[in-house]
Structure 1
C-alpha cells in the first residue's frame, strides 16, 4: 500500500503499467511530463521487468517528484498490473487515465480531454483521435471514425455499439472520471476484457473524442497484439495463470457484458433495453460460443489443456514500497 496522507491531491493521476518496456519508456514518460496540464502524478507499476525498465523508471522518478515507481515482485499479468496502477493512485485525484509504456501524447492532450470532461457531465471517458507511429516515431497511418456510437445520448445504443462491433479500443487510454472507473470491476483477468470495461463505462456516460490527433500509438514487434494473435493466445498477457487451462473466451466476454448491465446504475427501462441487447449479442455470437465449447472439449481430450489448480482471484497485487512520495 502507498501512504498518501502527507501529499496533496493531484487533479489527474496517470497509471503506467509496464513489463520490459525499456525500449520506448523514456519518450512515453517524457510526453506525459511535458503536458500543458501539470497538476498530475504518474504512477508506474513495474511487473517484475528483467530489462532496464527499473533503472530508467528510478532515474525519471529521481528527476521529477510527480513520478511514483512501484516494482511488483513478479509478473502478475497485464490485466492485474493495469488494475494495480489504479489502486495505487492518489485517492484525491479527480481524473485517471492509463498510459502505455510505448505510446506518445502531444503536449496539449490532457488539456483537450480535460475540457471535455469538465464541460459535460454526461461524458465518462474523453480521448482524442489516434494515429500509429513506428519505432522511430514516423507516421504509419491515421485512424478516422470507427463508426461507433459510443458518444450517443442513448445508453442502450452505446452499449450495443461497444459490445457488438469490432473496433480498436483506443478509449481505454482516455481520461476518465476516477469515481466512475472505481464503480466498475476494472479490467477483467481474461482476454478482451478491455472491451467489456469500455462497454461498462458506456453504461455510466458517453465516450467522446476530440477531433485532433493528440495520441500516437506506437507500432513495434514487442506489442502484445503482435505476439499473441488470437483471444486464446492473448490470455498469456491478460492472465498467465490461465495458460494451459480451458478459457472459453467468448463465454467470459458474454458474462462480463451481462454482469456490467446488472451492476450499472440504470433505470428499469434502460436495464431492460440493455438486457435485450445481450440477447442480440448471444444470437450473434452463438457460433463462436459453440466453437469455444467444442475447441475446449477437443483440447481437454488431447491433453493440450487441463482443469487444474484454483481459479485466480481478481484483485490487485501488493507492491513494493515506492521510491518517493507522489507529490512534494
Structure 2
C-alpha cells in the first residue's frame, strides 16, 4: 500500500512542472505513483495552464494523498517553474527528482536509481532511455552518447558535459536534495539544464543503470519542436528576455565558468576544471562570433531593444512544452 506521510518527510520528493499538459499528465503521474518505492511525494507545479491540467491533477490528488497540486498565478516560464517545484518539495525529503509531465517511468525506476546512490561518489542517478510516441510505442532506443559523465576525474566529467553535444536525460535523474540545493538551480537562460548537469558533475559522477526504465515522450507539443534553436528557446526558459538582445552561447559559457568558480573543489581540481574552459572557448568560437553578429543585425533592424518593456517582462510565456530543452543547442 502507498505510504501516507501525515506530515512526516517522504524519502523522495518528485517535482512535476506542468503547463497545458492534459494529454499526457495522467499517464506520467500514474507511472510515478506505481513505483516499487512508495515512500514518496509528487508535487505538481502548474504554470498557469489554460486546458484541463488542473482538473486532472486535482482528481489524482483526491485519490492519492502523496500528490500535491499547486497552481501558479501566471506562466513565468519553464526555468522558473522547475525551480518553483523544487522549492515546493517537503523540506525533509532526502532525495529529489524532476519528472516531465509527459514522460513515463518504469515501476522499477526508483529502486534502480536509489541503489546507484548508495555509492557516495554518485551525484545523479538515472537509467537508460528510449523515446516513445504518443501511443507509448518505442520509436528510438538511446545508447551510449560517449559522454564520460561517470568518469572518476572531475575535470573529465566537466569537460565532456560542457563541450560536447548530448541529450540531457540526467536532468530527470534522482539527486540528493542537499546537493541540488547547493547549486543555483536551473538558470533563466537557454540550455541552462546543461550547465546544471555540469555543475552537479563537479560534486560527483552521473551514473546510469543500463536498463531502459525511463521513457521520454516525443510529441508535437514538446518545446524543442516549437523552439528549435537556443535563441528561440528564450521564450520557454525566460519570457522576460523576449525582445531583448540575447547572446545564448556567451551566457552558456558564463554559466559554466560560474559553476566552476563556486563549486567546493580542491585548488588543484578547480584549476584543471577552469583550464577546460579554454578548450570550450576555442570550440565554441564560431558560435560566439555568430551570436555577436546576429544581435548586431537585430539591433540595427529594431527587432530587439536594450530597454526592457514592462508589459513584455510580465507577460505569460507562450511555451507549450512542460519540459526543458533536451537537445543540442543551435544558434
Structure 1 length as normaliser, TM-score? 0.92
1:295 match: 294
What is the CA–CA distance in structure 1 between the aligned matches of 2:307 and 2:26, rounded to whole Å? Answer: 40
What is the CA–CA distance in structure 1 between the aligned matches of 2:125 and 2:200, rounded to whole Å? Answer: 11
What is the CA–CA distance in structure 2 between the aligned matches of 1:251 and 1:177, rounded to whole Å? Answer: 30
2:226 match: 227
SS at structure 2 position matched to 1:231: coil
2:131 match: 132
What is the CA–CA distance in structure 2 between the aligned matches of 1:226 and 1:218, rounded to whole Å? Answer: 13
Q: Does 1:167 align with 2:166?
A: yes
2:250 match: 251
1:260 match: 259
In the alignment, structure 2 segments of 5+ residues that lack a partner are 314-331
1:43 match: 43
Q: How far off its partner does 1:283 sit? A: 1.2
What is the CA–CA distance in structure 2 between the aligned matches of 1:124 and 1:308, rounded to whole Å? Answer: 40
What is the CA–CA distance in structure 1 between the aligned matches of 2:217 and 2:288, rounded to whole Å? Answer: 33
Q: How does 1:54-93 map to 2 (within 5 A)?
A: 54-93=54-93
1:316 match: none
What is the CA–CA distance in structure 1 between the aligned matches of 2:309 and 2:213, rounded to whole Å? Answer: 43
SS at structure 1 position matched to 2:148: coil
Which deviates further from its counterpart, 302-311 or 25-34?
302-311
Q: How does 1:1-328 map to 2 (within 5 A)?
A: 7-118=7-118, 120-309=119-308
In angstroms, what is the RMSD of aligned CA positions? 1.5
SS at structure 2 position matched to 1:265: coil
Q: How far off its partner does 1:6 sit? A: 6.9
SS at structure 2 position matched to 1:22: coil
1:321 match: none
1:93-140 C-alpha deviation (Å, 9 max, x unpaired): 01000000000000000000001102x000000000000000000110
1:320 match: none
SS at structure 2 position matched to 1:210: strand
In the alignment, structure 1 segments of 5+ residues that lack a partner are 314-328
What is the CA–CA distance in structure 1 between the aligned matches of 2:52 and 2:121, rounded to whole Å? Answer: 42
SS at structure 1 position matched to 2:197: helix
Q: How far off its partner does 1:309 sit? A: 2.1
SS at structure 2 position matched to 1:69: strand
What is the CA–CA distance in structure 2 between the aligned matches of 1:153 and 1:214, rounded to whole Å? Answer: 24
SS at structure 2 position matched to 1:266: coil
What is the CA–CA distance in structure 2 between the aligned matches of 1:95 and 1:175, rounded to whole Å? Answer: 7
SS at structure 2 position matched to 1:212: strand
Number of residue-to-residue matches in the alignment: 308
What is the CA–CA distance in structure 1 between the aligned matches of 2:54 and 2:305, rounded to whole Å? Answer: 35
SS at structure 2 position matched to 1:45: strand
What is the CA–CA distance in structure 1 between the aligned matches of 2:264 and 2:131, rounded to whole Å? Answer: 36
Structure 2 length as normaliser, TM-score? 0.91
What is the CA–CA distance in structure 2 between the aligned matches of 1:153 and 1:84, rounded to whole Å? Answer: 32
Whether the 8 Å CA contact 2:244–2:308 is kept in 1: the answer is no
Higher relative contact order (CA 8 A, sep 6+): 1
2:321 match: none
SS at structure 1 position matched to 2:41: strand
SS at structure 1 position matched to 2:117: helix
What is the CA–CA distance in structure 2 between the aligned matches of 1:154 and 1:210, rounded to whole Å? Answer: 20
Whether the 8 Å CA contact 2:128–2:209 is kept in 1: the answer is yes
1:246-267 C-alpha deviation (Å, 9 max, x unpaired): 1100010000000000000000
Q: How far off its partner does 1:310 sit? A: 7.9
